[in-house]
């Protein structure tokens, strides 16, 4: 099945290309960014060897819907959703931290807690918690934006001059408000927004701006409300819609991104199952049928759609 593993476009006004774990980001005249959501998938800070068909489309379209639904809370970077896999937006100077917010003890936070840690990014966690318990209140546990994300506390961010205290306080307020809105929207779809992350930057006018993606399966973890309490009581794993199932598959196959470990072989059956899970999440969280874009000539489709969108943006 055709999928986007890498792109090498040359758009009008293009100054550079940055290739991230999942996205290819084209700088247009230092004013706009063309962000192509590829079908690459990453876990434990490693890009897995095989792309997942339609994953990029799922991420781009979910993010577009949530960015539109939260623009009353904080300005965002979007100028046009040019293609099922592409968003074009304002060029922003990125804050070098990711604002991670958690409403439940799951994933990385649970692994740290299980290992005996009670201080996470400067936040003290109470004793006696179990996996997937709801926290007394949502906590912000930021990470550095680097090749390997690392936990960091509010006080360290400010002390190191990574973000000023005034700006970081505003980032916290935006993060809490966005998480509250995302939680409400998830509940309407029978889901629990367990944890998520937000990225911010400053646009050319100096305005704090929400960038990248929000509330997608790559940046967020969702549980189903139905059966949550029963599963927690019985000690069963929660039914969830997130990338955690990929991480668990890797762990079960001996890979956690540690030195000396080898990424396990991804069979076509497994790749198809991951694609199906991403589509399931889209339909569940958005509440609409997912329409697969034409993938016969993906690169030609993207190039034509982006060029058309840029014609309008660059003359405005």
Residue 128 sits in the same domain as residue 236: yes
pLDDT tens sequence across 169-199: 999 999 999 999 999 999 999 999 999 999 9
> Is 80 exceeded by the pLDDT of residue 148?
no
Residue 125 sits in the same domain as residue 238: yes
Residue 102 sits in the same domain as residue 185: yes
Domain membership of residue 212 (yes or no) is no
CATH of the domain at 269: 3.30.200.20
Residue 110 sits in the same domain as residue 236: yes
Quote the domain boundaries for residue 306: 14-93+247-315
CATH of the domain at 233: 3.30.470.20
pLDDT band at 147 (very low <50, low <70, confident <90, very high): low
Question: Which element (helix H / strand E) includes 89?
Answer: strand 86-90
Mean pLDDT, rounded, of the chain? 94
Average pLDDT over residues 149-172: 96
Residue 112 sits in the same domain as residue 161: yes
Count of structural domains within the chain: 2
Residue 113 sits in the same domain as residue 187: yes
d(CA 170, CA 14): 32
> Is 70 exceeded by the pLDDT of residue 111?
yes
pLDDT band at 243 (very low <50, low <70, confident <90, very high): confident
Residue 281 sits in the same domain as residue 311: yes
> Is 80 exceeded by the pLDDT of residue 1?
no
Give burial (CB, 10 Å; 0-12/13-18/19+) of 84.
Answer: buried
> Whole-model pTM?
0.89
pLDDT at 175: 98
Domain membership of residue 216 (yes or no) is no
pLDDT tens sequence across 201-224: 999 999 999 999 999 888 899 999
Domain membership of residue 64 (yes or no) is yes
């Amino acid at each position: 099945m055709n999928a986007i593993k890498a792109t090498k476009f040359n758009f009008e006004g293009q100054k550079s290309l940055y290739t991230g774990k999942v996205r290819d980001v084209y700088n247009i005249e230092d004013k706009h960014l063309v962000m192509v959501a590829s079908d690459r998938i990453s876990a434990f800070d490693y890009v897995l060897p095989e792309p997942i068909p339609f994953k990029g489309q799922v991420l781009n379209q979910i993010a577009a819907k949530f960015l539109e639904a939260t623009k009353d809370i904080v300005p965002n970077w979007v100028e046009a959703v040019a293609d099922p896999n592409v968003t074009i937006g304002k060029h922003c100077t990125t804050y070098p931290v990711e604002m991670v917010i958690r409403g439940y003890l799951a994933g990385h936070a649970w692994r740290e807690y299980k290992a005996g840690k009670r201080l996470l990014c400067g936040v003290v966690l109470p004793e006696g918690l179990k996996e997937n318990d709801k926290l007394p209140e949502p906590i912000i546990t930021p990470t550095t934006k680097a090749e390997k994300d690392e936990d960091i506390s509010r006080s360290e961010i400010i002390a190191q001059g990574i973000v000023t205290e005034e700006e970081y306080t505003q980032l916290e307020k935006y993060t809490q408000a966005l998480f509250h809105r995302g939680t409400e929207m998830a509940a309407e779809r029978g889901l629990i927004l367990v944890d998520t992350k937000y990225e911010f930057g400053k646009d050319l006018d100096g305005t704090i701006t929400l960038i990248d993606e929000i509330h997608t399966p790559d940046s967020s973890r969702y549980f189903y409300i139905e059966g949550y309490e029963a599963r927690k009581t019985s000690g069963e794993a929660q039914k969830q819609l997130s990338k955690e199932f990929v991480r668990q598959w890797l762990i079960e196959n001996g890979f956690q991104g540690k030195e000396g470990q080898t990424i396990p072989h991804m069979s076509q059956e497994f790749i198809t199952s991951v694609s199906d899970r991403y589509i399931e999440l889209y339909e569940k969280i958005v509440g609409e049928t997912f329409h697969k874009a034409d993938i016969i000539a993906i690169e030609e489709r993207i190039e034509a759609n982006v060029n058309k969108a840029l014609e309008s943006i660059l003359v405005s």
